[in-house]
Amino acid sequence: MSVETETAPEIARAKVNLWLNVVGRRDDGYHLLHSLVAFADLGDTLEIAPAEDLSLVIDGLGAAVLSADTDNLVLKAARLLAAESGVRAGAAFRLTKRIPMAAGLGGGSADAAAALRGLDRLWRLDAPPARLSALAARLGADVPMCLHQRPCIASGVGEKLDPAPPLPGCGMLLVNPGIPLSTPEVFAARRGDFSPVRPIDRPWTDLAGLVAALAIRGNDLTDAAAARLPVVGEMLSALRRTSGVRYAAMSGSGATCFALYDAVADAGRAARDLPASWWHYAGRLA
């Protein structure tokens, strides 16, 4: 097996659930979902260099409280790929965090997916996409969608992925209060009936069409998240008051919320009206 001497950094893009419906529950307790997943132009950066052993250094947002030990998903992904491929080489990782932790943006899953993509190149494995996806699924339900970083419809517990129609260009504002929110606790707090699966009946030709589709689906975990963390409701109210907003909702299980605008400049102007204590990012869907 040959090893690359240098690889370009991998960008681990933030996952945004533009809608999230809870449509059932399996006998083992896992909830069944139907979600439109997109990716932001915001992402962590994972640099990978050849090495004899596996190592990880973390800097950037929240680095002081992140573990670079063996339970980190980047190192778990590396060990899994090495074991399944018979690789004896190592890798030195440097992860620069820009995605908030426990924020409903899939940061850890995106990092694990970036490790699989980068090591496939570094170790010159040329693994078939289906094989990498299968390994990604063993690391977590969100890792396969983060592996490909393309808009998709996620169903099942998140492991079933179908291509989504192209998304219209628009600006997006992400907002997070800086307080982690536990996904299991949010699901446990959810009340009410399950939602029906609403298939996509036509492509979205513009932002108005996408917003109409989002508005009738929403995020079924919003009330549960706001009950656990009331600032979620405060963020949504603030976003819905911003000038030029076309739609605002929570992403995933929270606590990050997002708003869509006609242009990135509109999202940037809207960010100026938010409390300084909230993390925010104005950009676009990747």
* Domains observed in the chain: 10-162 (3.30.230.10), 165-284 (3.30.70.890)
DSSP 8-state assignment for residue 285: B
Residues carrying an active site annotation: 15, 142
DSSP-derived 3-state class of residue 275: coil
pTM for this model (two decimals): 0.93
Contact between 173 and 271 under an 8 Å Cβ cutoff? The reply is yes
Contact between 157 and 189 under an 8 Å Cβ cutoff? The reply is no
Give the whole-angstrom CA distance, residue 208 versus residue 262: 10
pLDDT in tens, the chain (286 residues): 555 556 689 999 999 999 999 999 999 988 999 999 999 999 999 999 999 999 999 999 988 888 777 789 999 999 999 999 999 999 999 999 999 988 989 999 999 999 999 999 999 999 999 999 999 999 998 999 999 999 999 999 888 999 999 999 999 999 999 998 999 999 999 999 999 999 998 899 999 999 999 999 999 999 999 999 999 999 999 999 999 999 999 999 999 999 999 999 999 999 999 999 999 999 999 8
CA 128 to chain CA centroid, nearest Å: 23
C-alpha neighbours within 13 Å on the C-beta side of residue 221: 32
Q: Give bridge partners of residue 97 from the DSSP assignment.
A: 60
